């Protein structure tokens, strides 16, 4: 009787285990990952300050950035928007190496602002090598940091023909 139970159990396992693995997501799918080359570009801001979306600090429409993004005050107040402005000389359209929408890692030595920011705005043309962090006026209305580092991560996919 024990042999019969063991044979039935072993037979059940024989048929159930392959069926289990075949039912898993991506079962039998071979995923080919193309090799990537990652480079880091580093930029230094002489000065970093804070700005608020108000007419006296921006223009007549302070809730629209230079990249044409609309600022949602609720998200800004919750801190889920981390946008910044940089001086024109750093932007691609004026001969720089950064552009709107670029994600950069900011290093100022201050845990409150260090981390990931997205470039969405431009500072007044009188400024050079500067940055401005967008904050809700109820959270932060002033701040000054010097020699701040921005790091932009670039990923290049290596195809058979070369780098793309």
Give the span between the Cα atoms of 103 and 82, in whole angstroms: 10
The pLDDT-based confidence of 4 (bands split at 50, 70, 90) is very low
Residue with tokens 């932007």: 91
Domain ranges, ordered by start, for the chain: 36-157
Per-residue pLDDT of 63-80, as tens digits, reads 899 999 999 999 999 989
Residue 123 scores a pLDDT above 60: yes
Percent of the chain with pLDDT over 70: 76
Give the per-residue pLDDT at 151.
96
Q: What is the pLDDT of residues 136-149, one digit of tens each?
A: 988 887 899 999 99
Tokens of 86: 């940089």
Non-local CB neighbours of 110 within 8 Å, separated by 6+ positions:
145
Q: Indicate whether this model's pTM tops 0.85.
A: no
User: In the prediction, which pLDDT does 162 show?
Assistant: 56
Locate the DSSP E strands across 9-143: 36-51, 83-86, 103-107, 115-122, 130-134
Report the alpha-carbon distance of residue 40 to residue 104 in Å, rounded: 10
Q: Tell me what the pLDDT averaged over the chain comes to.
A: 83
- Phi/psi for 69 (5° steps) reads -85, 140
Domain covering 36-157, topology: Barwin-like endoglucanases (2.40.40)
Q: What is the pLDDT of residues 10-35, one digit of tens each?
A: 455 455 555 555 555 555 566 666 77
Give the integer Cα–Cα distance in Å for 151 and 36: 18
Lowest mean pLDDT among 1-5, 83-87, 98-102: 1-5
């Amino acid at each position: 009787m024990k042999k019969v139970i063991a044979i039935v159990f072993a037979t059940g396992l024989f048929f159930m285990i392959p069926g289990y693995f075949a039912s898993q997501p991506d079962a039998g799918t071979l995923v080919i990952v193309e090799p990537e080359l990652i480079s880091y570009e580093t930029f230094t801001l002489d000065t970093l300050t804070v700005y608020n979306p108000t007419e006296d600090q921006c223009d007549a429409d302070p809730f629209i950035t230079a990249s044409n993004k609309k600022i949602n005050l609720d998200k800004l107040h919750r801190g889920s928007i981390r946008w910044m402005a940089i001086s024109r000389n750093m932007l691609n359209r004026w001969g720089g190496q950064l552009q709107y929408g670029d994600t950069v890692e900011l290093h100022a030595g201050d845990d409150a602002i260090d981390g990931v920011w997205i470039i969405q705005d431009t500072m007044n043309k009188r400024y050079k090598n500067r940055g401005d962090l967008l904050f809700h006026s109820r959270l932060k209305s002033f701040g000054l940091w010097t020699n701040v580092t921005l790091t932009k991560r670039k990923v290049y996919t290596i195809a058979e023909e070369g780098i793309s």
